[in-house]
Structure 1
């Protein structure tokens, strides 16, 4: 496949639809002790035995800290409209209340280079790398961290202002709160039901506190927040309640406070004993208007009640799965977008801020890597977005995850999501077939829109 086959009437071919690629700071940068950066919770977590596959860490990762210029050139070569990156909080504020000029300068060079090459910049302020000094004071279990995030947002937006085209407060608060503080799979590795819900409220409060600051400092930029979402389907006709609850806990819990000013009753009732302390006015803060919502989609969930009445996920035997074990289900992306459009009367424009697949594509042969499954994955999911738009959902852009292979959190380096292969020994980058196909699609679109 030379390029993705989109129908001639595809909304994705219009010139104002944004195509991009995405990365995050801890996953690609390395340079963890350079430029004034201090440790994050992921630096600490990676040093804890048996937490990350193979004992991997992000100390070097893709060495983007030193190779960013060639990486930005590579991104431009893909023909994208925008680059979505995240800023490392401990690079900007290495100590409580201290702003690091060297950290700001590092990102400023990247942003300026993107603009010089005609690409817009979408910046995420928090992609899970909380400064360790804040975790030492309780992290997201401490309400004060929400206010520290607002200070950090002020430092970044006061410096960059409108130079950052699109600001994102949080990436996937579900993962930060539940994998980090409820189930312990991610940094900081805390396990507790009450802790998970408390962290989730403080994350959403942080988002709300930052919004007016960002708007004040960057009035011409767009501001919003990114959620991961997996639509849920019942395993049998008797399991609709299990599917409904799965959606309520996994993403309505995070989206409803922003778009409806309340937490979903399904979760409140089931988790009453675990509910966080919500102070008067918190939900007014969290529900500050947003210019867009980002959606990260990878797969669906099929849910059922087990013999004990507990809700559990059902693995779809016989279905296609990626190397990481996630079912390939593009229809889920269409369904998700339509459901969100129906649930929220006031939903702003949506960006698909992450979508991609981890495939078993570790070896470059003769300078080439044919990641056939990923090519098919992108093809089917781009069509799924197009179908949602034709069904009446406003989707303004699509960002492939990820630009290149990187540190995949608790999976270390064994899972590869990249459109570009990275040899971690030599830091050699090689475009996979999926990147070439993506590039050819965007070049053809640009030609048609001349």
Structure 2
């Protein structure tokens, strides 16, 4: 029996844009996703856009009952910036009522709300001004954060500013996957810096208004694994560590941007525009805890034909396809639970053993109806095995003193996933898109209830 610490958080994670629906209703303004779907619906899987998603806006009360039924004691979701402040300034009273009732019902059911502020859903009014490229985004986000703390601070004790900030930086400005889908390393670094300062000023606002509870950030980081011990591969690993891990973890936890990262950016003419006082604010406002999203490891090797100054990250490090990997064929992602132990040790040994939790971990599978039994229940043993393997490694880390306080899966009910729509499913509950978003429990939900009740397995 692997037993986890007392009061361990067992739950799931989701986001407003991926679950709420009503994306063009109830006073909410457009986000980049709403606008992009309007402009280019053909880019989206089966033309599944952000309009309805899983309709949590209507189903949240019943969903909370379902959370309780499978033993969840916590749930992380996000507030929609475009719903709360449709023009960035004016409070949407209907949104306030919706979120207050949502969070109250979570608390009443014994499901601790962990509330995130930004999950890739940039309001269109700000995108038209340049989005995260514009310095205005920093103060606009800090104002939004302060508004959220004031409106919901009596109901929420665990806050996070951003979910996976690297995603909107890399996908939007380096790899061309998300809107505005450009490839510009210099812009990407500036976007990253503005995101960091938006986070820092939000933590500052949280501390200044003396909000109760704690504030953190959710990052998708994992130790990098180099192809070999050669100097070239180790230099690639070092560059990847600096850009992908230390760029946010160090300032958010240690209060400083690594000098080696600054030197790397100078070397490639990538230094962002900064403001007086930024350095002091970074130093003064570290987080109280960290969320770590983990799905797959990062394996790197030296680039074969690098350009200098670097045009993109592949000029600094290249992806390495480890020949011995196990793969989830539906996502094309490597399954490597051992990295979760390495994360636990990294947080213990390099980041003051700060409190942290696994804020996302999960397995996406397409066409799960293949695994449906005669009763209509999906027999997703592959998901149970995935969780067991990762929890075993997490338990090793906790056993060796890493200060981990929870494990959240992605996700509770099947949700919409950006350009992929509903292609891959992750939930404990199946969502039937053809039948008014009806929820049906999967086998993994039954197992999770036993896990939570036993505080281990």
TM-score of the two chains, using structure 2 as the length reference: 0.91
- What is the 5 A alignment of 1:207-356? 207-217=199-209, 219-238=211-230, 239-272=233-266, 273-287=269-283, 288-308=285-305, 310=315, 311-322=317-328, 323-345=330-352, 347-356=353-362
- What is the 5 A alignment of 1:97-246? 97-217=89-209, 219-238=211-230, 239-246=233-240
TM-score of the two chains, using structure 1 as the length reference: 0.92
Counterpart pick for 2:26 among 9, 32, 35: 35
Cα offset, 1:136, TM superposition: 0.6
Cα offset, 1:69, TM superposition: 1.4
Match of 1:44 in 2: 35
> Is the 8 Å Cα contact of residues 255 and 286 (structure 2) preserved in structure 1?
no
Cα offset, 1:245, TM superposition: 1.9
Q: Residues 234-286 of structure 1: CA distance to partner in whole angstroms, max 9, x if unpaired?
A: 11221222222222211211111222333234433333212211223213223
Would you identify which runs of 4 or more consecutive aligned residues in structure 1 move more than 6 Å? none
> Is the 8 Å Cα contact of residues 21 and 57 (structure 2) preserved in structure 1?
yes
Cα offset, 1:43, TM superposition: 1.0
- 1:376 equivalent to 2:385? Answer yes
Match of 1:3 in 2: none
State the secondary structure of the residue aligned to 1:162.
coil
Q: Once structures 1 and 2 are overlaid, which stretch shifts more, 302-311 or 287-296?
A: 302-311
> Is the 8 Å Cα contact of residues 245 and 266 (structure 1) preserved in structure 2?
no
- 1:433 equivalent to 2:446? Answer no
> Is the 8 Å Cα contact of residues 290 and 348 (structure 1) preserved in structure 2?
no
Q: How many residues align?
A: 437
Counterpart CA distance in 2 for 1:96 and 1:87 is: 14
Counterpart CA distance in 2 for 1:194 and 1:300 is: 26
Q: Residues 338-384 of structure 1: CA distance to partner in whole angstroms, max 9, x if unpaired?
A: 12322223x52011111111123521443111112211110011111
Cα offset, 1:146, TM superposition: 0.8
- 1:92 equivalent to 2:84? Answer yes
Q: Once structures 1 and 2 are overlaid, which stretch shifts more, 186-195 or 109-118?
A: 186-195
Match of 2:404 in 1: 395
Counterpart CA distance in 2 for 1:204 and 1:328 is: 30
Q: Which runs of 5+ in 2 are unaligned?
A: 307-314
> Is the 8 Å Cα contact of residues 331 and 384 (structure 1) preserved in structure 2?
yes
Cα offset, 1:26, TM superposition: 0.5
State the secondary structure of the residue aligned to 1:223.
strand
Q: Residues 30-60 of structure 1: CA distance to partner in whole angstroms, max 9, x if unpaired?
A: 1012211011111122334354333321111
> Is the 8 Å Cα contact of residues 161 and 217 (structure 1) preserved in structure 2?
no
Counterpart CA distance in 2 for 1:116 and 1:101 is: 22
State the secondary structure of the residue aligned to 1:357.
coil
> Is the 8 Å Cα contact of residues 141 and 199 (structure 1) preserved in structure 2?
yes
Cα offset, 1:93, TM superposition: 0.3
